[in-house]
Structure 1
Amino acid sequence: MLGIHDFPLYVFSCILLNLTPGQDTMYIIGRSLAQGRRAGIVSVLGIMTGVWVHTLLAALGLSVILATSAMAFAVVKFAGAAYLIWIGIRFLLQSNGADVMPDNRMTARNDRQIFQQGMLTNVLNPKVALFFLSFLPQFVSSRTDTVFLPFMLLGLVFFTTGSIWYLILVHGASRLSQRFRHRSTIGGRLKRLTGLLFIGVGIRLAFAKAH
C-alpha cells in the first residue's frame, strides 16, 4: 500500500500513543481549563501543525541531526523547556483573573498567540522529532523507491487520530471549567494551576535524554 506495510497495526499504535498522556496533552488540557474550548481547539491546531513539521523533517532526513548530535539535541531541548516555563510564568503573573477570557471574547490576536505557542512547544521538543524518525520507518517498505510519500501518509494518520483524541480532551476540559472560569477567584486558581503545569512540563523536558 503506497510503500507502507502493517497499516492496521500502525493505526492501532497511533491510537495508543495518542491516548498516552504527554507534553502535548498537558498543554491542551491546560489551555482548555484556563481559557475555554476555543483556546483548546486553537492549541490542537498549533500542536498538530508541529506534528506536520516533524513528519516533514523526518521524511527529508533532517531529524537525523538531532539523533547524531548531542549539542543539537540539547539546544533544541533547552529552548523548548525555556519556552514552556516562560508560558507557565505568564499564566502565574495573570492569575489574578483579569486575563481570564471566555470563548466569546477571544480575538484573532489571542488565537494567533495560542496557535504559535502550541506549535513551538511541539516543534521545540526534540524527543518528538526522534520519535518520528524512529517510529515511522518501521512501517515503510524497504522496497519503496522514495520514503517521502509514505512518511507523509503515515504522518497524516497520526495527525488524524491525534486531532480526534485531543478535541475530545478539549471538550471535556472546557466543559469541566466552563462554570468556574468567569469567577475571578476560581479562574485565577485555574490559571495558576495551568502555569504550574507548564512549568513542570518544561522542567521535565529540560531533564529529558535522547535515549
Structure 2
Amino acid sequence: MIPLHELFFFILAALVLVISPGPNMIYLISKSITQGKKSGFISLAGVVCGFLFHIVMVSFGLTAVLLAVPFAYTVLKAVGTAYLLYLAYQAIKPNSKNIFDVEQSSSYDSPKKLFTVGFLTNVLNPKVAVFYLSFFPQFIKPEYGSVFTQSLELGVVQVFVSFSVNFVIVLTAARVAVFFSHNPIWIKVQKWFMASILTYLAVKMAFSKAK
C-alpha cells in the first residue's frame, strides 16, 4: 500500500489536472449547459468508463516497462515535467478561450451517443494517458508492494477525484457560466492560480529522485 502522505500529493496533482481545461471538461460543460444535467451525467458515465480503460492498460504497461527498463522512469519524469509546464502555459496563453463559452445547439443527442462520445473523448484524450504514464511512476516504489497493485490503487484514487470534480461541474456548469460572464476578472485569477500550481508540480517532479 502507498503511504498516506504520498497519496495526499498524488491527490493534489490529480485535482489540479482534472480542473485544468481539457476535452473531458469541455465536453461535460457543453452538454450540461446545452442539454441539461441529465445529459451531463450520462456523458460523465462515459468519461469514467474511459478512465477505467486507461487504468487497466497503463497498469499492465507500467508493470512491464518499469520492471524491464529502469531508465524508463527518468524518461517518463522528463515527459511529465514538460507536459505540466505545457499545461501551465496553455492556462495563461494570450487569447485562451473561456471554456464556459459554448455554442447553443437545437439538436439533442441520445443517451447512447452521449455515453459513447464521453467514453471515446476520454479514451482518445492524450492528456489522460500522459498523466498516468508520467505521474504514476513517481509514486510507485518496490518497497510498497506489487507495481500492478500500486498502479490500480493510484488509478482508483484518480478516478474518484475526477468523478467528484466532474460531478460538481455538471451540477453547477450553467450557474458558473453566468458567474464568469458577469465577473471576467475571476477567469484571469483562475488561470494564473492554475498555472502556478502546475509549475510547482512540474518543478517538484523534475527534482524527485529516481527509485
In the alignment, the residues of structure 2 paired with residue 13 and residue 37 of structure 1 have an alpha-carbon distance, to the nearest angstrom, of 27
Matching residue of 1:117:
117
In the alignment, the residues of structure 2 paired with residue 4 and residue 30 of structure 1 have an alpha-carbon distance, to the nearest angstrom, of 36
What SS does structure 1 have at the residue aligned with 2:21?
A: coil
In the alignment, the residues of structure 2 paired with residue 115 and residue 174 of structure 1 have an alpha-carbon distance, to the nearest angstrom, of 20
Alignment of 1:154-173 (within 5 A): 154-173=154-173
Matching residue of 1:23:
23
Give CA deviations for 1:151-184 in whole Å, capped at 9, x if unaligned: 111111111111111111111125579xxxxxxx
In the alignment, the residues of structure 1 paired with residue 144 and residue 129 of structure 2 have an alpha-carbon distance, to the nearest angstrom, of 23
Matching residue of 2:46:
46
State the Cα RMSD in Å. Answer: 3.1
Matching residue of 2:37:
37
When the two structures are superposed, what TM-score results if normalisation uses the length of structure 2? 0.58
Matching residue of 1:147:
147
Hey, which bits of structure 1, 4+ residues long, moved more than 4 A? 2-5, 174-177
Q: CA deviation at 1:142?
A: 2.7
Matching residue of 2:10:
10
In the alignment, the residues of structure 1 paired with residue 144 and residue 50 of structure 2 have an alpha-carbon distance, to the nearest angstrom, of 26
What SS does structure 1 have at the residue aligned with 2:151?
A: helix
In the alignment, the residues of structure 2 paired with residue 127 and residue 148 of structure 1 have an alpha-carbon distance, to the nearest angstrom, of 21
With over 3 angstroms needed to count, the CA separation of the structure-2 counterparts of 1:172 and 1:145, relative to structure 1, is closer
Gaps of 5+ in 1: 69-91, 102-109, 178-211
Give CA deviations for 1:75-109 in whole Å, capped at 9, x if unaligned: xxxxxxxxxxxxxxxxx8x94x2x348xxxxxxxx
Gaps of 5+ in 2: 66-71, 76-102, 178-211
With over 3 angstroms needed to count, the CA separation of the structure-2 counterparts of 1:151 and 1:4, relative to structure 1, is farther
Q: CA deviation at 1:4?
A: 8.1
With over 3 angstroms needed to count, the CA separation of the structure-2 counterparts of 1:176 and 1:130, relative to structure 1, is closer
What SS does structure 2 have at the residue aligned with 1:21?
A: coil
In the alignment, the residues of structure 1 paired with residue 127 and residue 19 of structure 2 have an alpha-carbon distance, to the nearest angstrom, of 17
When the two structures are superposed, what TM-score results if normalisation uses the length of structure 1? 0.58
1:61 aligns to 2:70 (yes or no): no
What SS does structure 1 have at the residue aligned with 2:143?
A: coil
In the alignment, the residues of structure 1 paired with residue 175 and residue 108 of structure 2 have an alpha-carbon distance, to the nearest angstrom, of 15
Question: Among the aligned pairs, what percent are the same residue?
Answer: 34
- Number of residues paired by the alignment? 142
In the alignment, the residues of structure 1 paired with residue 119 and residue 108 of structure 2 have an alpha-carbon distance, to the nearest angstrom, of 22
